[in-house]
Amino acid sequence: MNQTEAAGAARLVESPEEIRRVVQAARRTGLRVGFVPTMGALHAGHRSLIEQARHDCDVVVASIFVNPTQFAPHEDLSKYPRPLEADLRLCSGAGADLVFHPSVPAMYPAGMSTVVRVEGLTRGLEGASRPTHFQGVTTVVLKLFSVVPADVAYFGQKDFQQQAVLRKMVADLCLPIEIVVCPTVREPDGLALSSRNVYLSPTERQQALELSAALRRTMTQLEQGVRDIPALQRELRDRLVAAPGVVLDYATLADPQTLEELSSWQPSVVALVAARVGTTRLIDNMVFGRWQ
């Protein structure tokens, strides 16, 4: 063990071949490997995933890779925050053993012509507003799973459609990895943590609170026994349309498995919202009932 490891610092690995070798060697000795893929700009939401992996597994790998193919040309790829030093500290503090931080050419070698696309689940919601997004996500995550052949991978409920799409990909392709979805971590005032929250001005941050407040109200109504789904959906939408500074993209009550919009009550419901606050696009969701 070297000095850095003795101090509990995660080991930074840039080479796909090396991380695969390390993970395979750990698994050959019977160790359980947990994997937390991220795009960096880490916060307490990411930390909770790493901590869960630390709790469940013998070896914890986090990855930091700002995946260009999940951004549309007009989106924020070039300005996406990349505070690598702080990210490495957070990974180490949360208990990661290894941080995989590949270059873009390492993940997308010149001439790469393979993509992974999940049909159906990717059509609506985020897929409607960001038509190329999920193909970028599934392609990079499958490649990450290949390079980091872990036992289990951790994702956040915050990106609800993403976890549904990735679970479908894993099931459809019989990938030998388990997916664990962890709850959304929020600020004390309800705002879901997101790497994009740093774009919000103080006024916009205040305005953004309406997303979680509106979702919370929908959940409270469901908990109180309100069963009129179309009325709840109308109210959620109306509240967000009326919110100052919030430009609503969608607000919908859906089935947590299929993500189909609901027309009547059922025991499990996910409420999903997306909106622009200033120039920042935010998403959030809350679930009523059992869903996983």
Residues 130, 283: Cα–Cα separation, whole Å = 13
Q: Which of residues 122, 135, 138, 195 is near ligand AMP by CB under 6 A?
A: 195
The set of residues, in sequence order, having a beta carbon less than 8 Å from that of 85 and lying 6+ positions away, is none
Task: Give alpha helix (H) positions in 224-248.
Answer: 229-241
If one asks whether residue 45 binds ligand AMP (CB under 6 A), the answer comes out as yes
Q: Which stretch binds ligand AMP (CB under 6 A): 10-18, 120-128, 143-151, 178-186?
A: 178-186
d(CA 48, CA 285): 18
Q: Does 281 bind ligand AMP (CB under 6 A)?
A: no
Minimum separation from the CB atom of position 92 to ligand AMP (A): 17
Among 126, 159, 210, 249, binds ligand AMP (CB under 6 A): 159
Q: How far is the CB of 225 from ligand AMP (least distance, A)?
A: 29
Q: Could you tell me which residues come within 8 angstroms of residue 265 by beta carbon, excluding any fewer than 6 positions away? A: 227, 228, 229
Would you count residue 49 as binding ligand AMP (CB under 6 A)?
yes
Question: How many degrees, rounded to 5, is the angle at CA 69 between CA 67 and CA 70?
Answer: 75
What's the token pair of residue 176? Answer: 């030998």
**280 interacts with ligand AMP by CB under 6 A:** no
The span from the CA of 10 to the CA of 6, in Å, is 10
Residue 155 binds ligand AMP, judged by CB under 6 A? yes
Residue 65 touches ligand AMP, criterion: CB under 6 A:
no
Residue 43: active-site member = no
The amino acid at residue 110 is A
Which of the ranges 11-19, 98-106, 182-190, 282-290 carries the binding residues for ligand AMP, by CB under 6 A?
Answer: 182-190
DSSP type of residue 186: B
Q: Taking contact as CB under 6 A, which single stretch among the options 17-25, 87-95, 98-106, 193-201 is the one that binds ligand AMP?
A: 193-201
Q: Considering only residues 184, 197, 212, 280, which one is a binding residue for ligand AMP as defined by CB under 6 A?
A: 184
Residue corresponding to tokens 């696309």: 117
Closest CA to 150 of 171, 108, 179: 179
* In the complex, least distance from residue 159 CB atom to ligand AMP, rounded to whole angstroms: 4
Which residue shows structure tokens 């690598």? 84
Q: How many residues bind ligand AMP (CB under 6 A)?
A: 17
Distance in angstroms (rounded) separating the CA atoms of residues 197 and 240: 18
Give the nearest distance from C-beta 245 to ligand AMP in angstroms. 21
Stretch that binds ligand AMP, among 6-14, 97-105, 188-196, 249-257 (CB under 6 A): 188-196
Interacting residues of 270 by C-beta distance below 8 A, sequence separation 6+: 160, 253, 254, 255, 256, 259, 285, 286, 287, 288, 291
Tell me which of 194, 207, 280, 285 binds ligand AMP, using CB under 6 A: 194
State the residues that interact with ligand AMP by CB under 6 A.
38-39, 45-46, 48-49, 155-156, 158-159, 182, 184-185, 192-195
Which residues are identified as catalytic? 46
